[in-house]
Structure 1
């Protein structure tokens, strides 16, 4: 399996791409870097040797305005080398811009408002969303990168007194576990303690991410 290098942070649009035209029989998964480990695990587990993965920087998790332009560039870059490009991003805070971009480019994207939804399963997440509007979610990736993606971007490493202002209206931290990893569970509990929230672990596995990728197999 060939895994192209992630795009650099400062990618900009250089060409205009339409739907993929490369008749190679290969599928490119154009994904958020926060999903790389899970996608590679699924490719290996299911022996999807026709799939390649390239990732955009995971930090776009907190910079969603960069997602759609970077996806546009990546599609233009790879459209002649793959028969199909599948965008493994949900809306992820783009306010519909990513969906519009994918429609313009003629490529599909995974359904859902964000990764918390498709890991839970979009139907299930919609059912419980009203009862969990005071929940703060973490995935395996975000537990591992808690300081880099939560503490530092919010300035809590410099101003811990801001914690209650940010999280005062939350009641619990829900750890959506993709794997059974006791060390990650303990780290997730520590994350909840640091935010002053109750803790709930919910094993989701890969949820609709696996369903979506299986449809490309």
Structure 2
């Protein structure tokens, strides 16, 4: 998982409340057993005027010129500004995958659906919660100034505006530790790989019959 410490990025405003996970990554794209390739179908039903399907060449699609991510001024945005209850709906982990693979590193919103919030941290995406009035002001500034960027300092837990104003945010220490060090659940486990190997070696030495299996994987 990519480490997150200090990030400065262009901001894109998603000016809708209750954006659900089916809007973030529609259900027809969940058939893949891989964890990659979802970025091109982020907000698919809103980004394109034609219906999308898995494996489709994105260059053959008809982009919706009115959708925010298709506007040239937001090209390359890596910070998504959203309204309340972002990520509601089903619990699909593909939603933060799609956001991350599109290029977003952080989201700023007044509130999130719990499962989406948790899934984001596990996949290296930082969901920042700020008061609704602060988010509303960020929307005004973002829409009023082309090229609007923010700096996110996770170590200090602040969002920094261009003029230097800092907006503090809360994050649980364990989640912060994982993001700063780039540790997902597998990475956390692999920190103890030496102990795991030692345990397996000791178990094999004391119970060697566990190494013998019959077809089907049942212990002999």
Q: Is the radius of gyration larger for structure 1 or structure 2?
A: 2
- Which structure has the higher relative contact order (CA within 8 Å, separation 6+)? 2
Q: What TM-score do the two structures reach when normalised by structure 1?
A: 0.25
Q: What TM-score do the two structures reach when normalised by structure 2?
A: 0.25
